[in-house]
Amino acid sequence: MIRVMSKFFFYIYRKFINSLDLNNKNGEKKLVEKNNQYFKLLTNNWSNKEIYHSKMQISELNKNKNKKKRLPTPFLKWAGGKRQLLPQMQKYFPSNFNQYIEPFVGGGAVFLFLYNEGFLKNKTFLIDTNEDLINTYKVVKNNVEDLIDDLKIHVNDKDYYYSVREKDRNQEIYNKMTFIEKASRIIYMNKCCYNGLYRVNSKGQFNVPFGKYKNPKFCDGENLRSVSLALKNVELVHGSFEKVLNFAKKDDFIYFDPPYHPLSATSSFTSYTKDDFGMKYQEKLFEIFQELDKRRCKLMLSNSFSDFIRGLYEDYNKIELKATRAINCDATKRGKIKEILIVNDF
């Protein structure tokens, strides 16, 4: 009897709950209908164009809401770039420092890494002897929108590429180009040339052949804009690495990435500028390293794992790194090679 009674009450209870649900559903349905009518009333007074634009604005807003801010990455491919070594180098960077100075900035992989990690709280100096490179950084920093507009003019075509490359063969033509046109030329050629590198001959003329890439991205406006932002607090200096002595003070962090001392007579790549970076320069650099060590700067230097370099820096801490270098045209010879990271005590 009790069983039958409890089943009956349970049945009544379920009926009651379902009727509540139904009321809710009807209620919701009514609300939706009411909203639609209200929307219809509202939009009846609008033109189709206005409705279209308001819909577009909402979808733009949603798109921007979902878009993550893209972190800046190097906008040039640079021989000896440090991007691939950053995971190995990361743990040796000082955790705090005052100014940051990079006297051989090249593609700027280390600078952008430190920027993205939030390490760069004070002034930064980026130095390089390559005038075209420093001009390009300055244009990215100060004239990024004009640069993007100029980049849009270029096309990925062999004849067009060589006509752009030719421009530094005639100094009169080259000198007439604006800073923006020169920067745009460098970025365009870097993305469309063979192996995407920067190399000049002894006259300082760009000499890399056309690269035959299907769809090279020579106008990446979004990245250029975020690099421009990263350069806001940066002083860009055209000149040789000795200039570091003008800026460096106690507790500044200085990262040196010079052209490497060759492991063998045929393995060198030192054509970033028309001047070669021989043993004399490596010795001069070592003197500067010692001077900055005396100033109690925090120092880090990359170079080849050669006897000469290890001998020169014998009194400093040395860390062995492994890198895959792609400068060899023969892909089968692109194995892992040892490189060295030298740090003072900080």
Per CB under 6 A, residues contacting ligand SAM are 78, 80-82, 103-104, 106-107, 109-110, 127-130, 240-241, 257-259, 272-273, 277
Instruction: Determine the Cα angle at 276 with ends 326 and 73, to 5°.
Output: 45
CB contact at 8 A, 305 and 320? yes
How far apart are CB 105 and ligand SAM at their closest, in Å?
Answer: 6
How far apart are CB 76 and ligand SAM at their closest, in Å?
Answer: 8
Specify the residue, 156 or 273, whose C-beta has the smaller distance to ligand SAM. 273
Instruction: Determine the Cα angle at 231 with ends 229 and 236, to 5°.
Output: 160
Token digits of residue 270: 């030192």
Task: Give the strand pairing for 124-128 and 298-304.
Answer: unpaired
How far apart are CB 99 and ligand SAM at their closest, in Å?
Answer: 18
Specify the residue, 105 or 156, whose C-beta has the smaller distance to ligand SAM. 105
Specify the residue, 181 or 257, whose C-beta has the smaller distance to ligand SAM. 257
How far apart are CB 168 and ligand SAM at their closest, in Å?
Answer: 16
How far apart are CB 102 and ligand SAM at their closest, in Å?
Answer: 7
Specify the residue, 164 or 244, whose C-beta has the smaller distance to ligand SAM. 244
Specify the residue, 130 or 344, whose C-beta has the smaller distance to ligand SAM. 130
Specify the residue, 156 or 190, whose C-beta has the smaller distance to ligand SAM. 190
Question: Which residues are 301's β-sheet partners?
Answer: 256, 342
Specify the residue, 238 or 310, whose C-beta has the smaller distance to ligand SAM. 238
Specify the residue, 80 or 211, whose C-beta has the smaller distance to ligand SAM. 80
How far apart are CB 82 and ligand SAM at their closest, in Å?
Answer: 4
How far apart are CB 292 and ligand SAM at their closest, in Å?
Answer: 15
Helices (H), the chain: 2-44, 48-66, 86-89, 109-116, 131-142, 144-151, 158-165, 171-176, 179-192, 221-230, 244-247, 279-294, 307-312
Among left, alpha and beta (phi > 0; psi -120 to 50; other), residue 196 is left
Give the residue closest to ligand SAM by C-beta: 106
Longest dimension (CA), the chain: 110
Residue with tokens 């062995």: 320
CB contact at 8 A, 289 and 299? yes
How far apart are CB 198 and ligand SAM at their closest, in Å?
Answer: 8
Specify the residue, 150 or 257, whose C-beta has the smaller distance to ligand SAM. 257
One-letter identity of residue 122: N
Q: Burial of 150 by CB count in 10 Å (0-12 exposed, 13-18 middle, 19+ buried)?
A: buried
CA pair distance 280, 259, nearest whole angstrom: 13
Residue (of 163, 155, 228, 215) closest to 188 by Cα position: 155
Residue (of 31, 34, 98) closest to 249 by Cα position: 98
Task: Tell me the backbone φ, ψ of residue 322, rounded to 5 degrees.
Answer: -115, 125
How far apart are CB 137 and ligand SAM at their closest, in Å?
Answer: 11
